[in-house]
Amino acid sequence: MKIAFFTDTYLPNVDGVVRAIVNYRGELQRRGHDVFVYTSGTGDESRNNTEKSVVFFRSVKFPPYPQYKVALFPYVSAILSARKQKIDLVHSHGVASMGFAAVRTAKTLNLPLVGTFHTLLPKGMETVTKNKWGQRTGEKLLWKAIQYFYQPFDVVTAPSNVISQMLIEHLECERGKVMAVPNGIDLQRFNQRLDPKWARKPLGLRKGEKLVLVAGRMGFEKNVPVVVKAFSQVLKAGNAKLVISGEGPAKASVLEFVRKSGLQDRVEMLGFLPEQELPLYYAAADVFVTASTFETQGLTVLESMACGTPVVGARAMAIPESIDDGKNGFLFEPSDDGECAEKILKILSMNDSKRRRMREEARAKAEQFSIPKTTDKLLKAYERTGEFHK
């Protein structure tokens, strides 16, 4: 089968959407399918591109997130390319310009159309305005726009059960058209082969110092200050270090929050971490923490678990689907830094036996999301288009 992935973000960007696309593409190709990627890009990216199956369309930077780009009128070029390549199925991974190009291409060529809902845009209104009326109004308008966008799709997938249920309610479509298809974890890269003691050596940690890790895109919706507040309480009980990795619009405000909290000596802001270094930090960490209330799945949570590192996460959106409270980590009420600190300390104070058991449970959970297993589910979604495509 020849499949066209349409996406507004792709390599060299690295985020949850890109990782999902790369993982799916690799596994589908391994199984004999041809996967083309249609994406936005700069002139340099297009000129330097050596992959014939990756097509960059002229674009401009998106001001709130300069690392992202919006393609300029890619419709005709995308249709011509898909026709030339004899594409069998179109799969959209976004709702911006490349998403609309996917819809136009599938409609013009009468191809099955699948969409994956990666980002919970309506929830982002909480970071746009503190006004409750403004939040509710913005959310309603965004859901209306999302409903309009996904109307032509044969099947829509979401990376978790909670998000697929939200889509069923808001899209007002047949239940069978929405499927939960999680994004896969590369268990060859993220695993327990890295010994935590060995992984800690290059990081310059002091003897007996506990490592608390936060990783991912630095957006306001990630609520990193909640973790910083919790960490200040953790410090009162013992020797620890907080490492925060990631880039994004909230980075400057997080840096300022750390400075005002007087924690510059105990908090390290790493910025963007190369992909090859991520497993090292996951393995070295005593606990991974996320206060995000925005996750449609939470790949960093599962990657951390794959490396055997327990997770403390906010009881919000898709996070509880990954964290079995008390088994492979702990949940806390969103924005409750006191409870977050309490749960972090629970993990840091565990004896070797309890910690080993929690590490095993974390790895077992991650193994449910291997790339082959999640690709099986994706192919079932592709098969289901036959029931709805007219």
Whether residue 309 is contained in a domain is answered as yes
**Residues 6+ away with beta carbon under 8 Å from 53:** 34, 35, 36, 37
What was the pLDDT predicted at 143? 94
For residue range 241-268, what is the model confidence (pLDDT) as tens digits? 999 999 888 999 999 999 999 999 999 9
Pick from 107, 332, 307: nearest CA to 200: 307
Tokens of 182: 């999680």
Whether residue 102 is contained in a domain is answered as yes
For residue range 47-75, what is the model confidence (pLDDT) as tens digits? 778 899 999 998 887 766 666 788 888 99
3-class SS letters over 31-66: CCCEEEEEEEECHHHHHHCCCCCEEEEEEEEECCEE
Confidence band for 197, pLDDT divided at 50, 70 and 90 = confident
Whether residue 16 is contained in a domain is answered as yes
Pick from 342, 380, 147: nearest CA to 236: 342
Whether residue 189 is contained in a domain is answered as no
For residue range 5-23, what is the model confidence (pLDDT) as tens digits? 999 999 888 888 999 999 9
Question: Do residues 257 and 228 make contact, with C-beta atoms less than 8 angstroms apart?
Answer: yes
Kindly report each contact of residues 201-204 with a partner whose C-beta sits within 8 Å and lies 24 or more positions away, as own/partner.
Answer: 202/280, 203/243, 203/280, 203/281, 203/284
What was the pLDDT predicted at 201? 80
Residues 259 and 329 in one domain: yes
User: What percent of the chain stands above pLDDT 70?
Assistant: 98
Least confident segment among 58-62, 159-163, 230-234, 241-245? 58-62
Say which CATH number the domain at 221 has.
3.40.50.2000
Residues 69 and 175 in one domain: yes
Residues 129 and 179 in one domain: yes
How many structural domains comprise the chain? 2
Query: In which domain, by residue range, is 133 found?
Result: 2-184+370-388
Burial pattern 3-41, b for ≥16 Cβ within 10 A else e, equals bbbbbbbbbebbbbbbbbbbbbbebbeeeebebbbbbbb
Residues 134 and 217 in one domain: no
Residues 203 and 86 in one domain: no
Q: How far apart are CA 217 and CA 17, in angstroms?
A: 11
pTM assigned to the model: 0.91
Residues 337 and 241 in one domain: yes
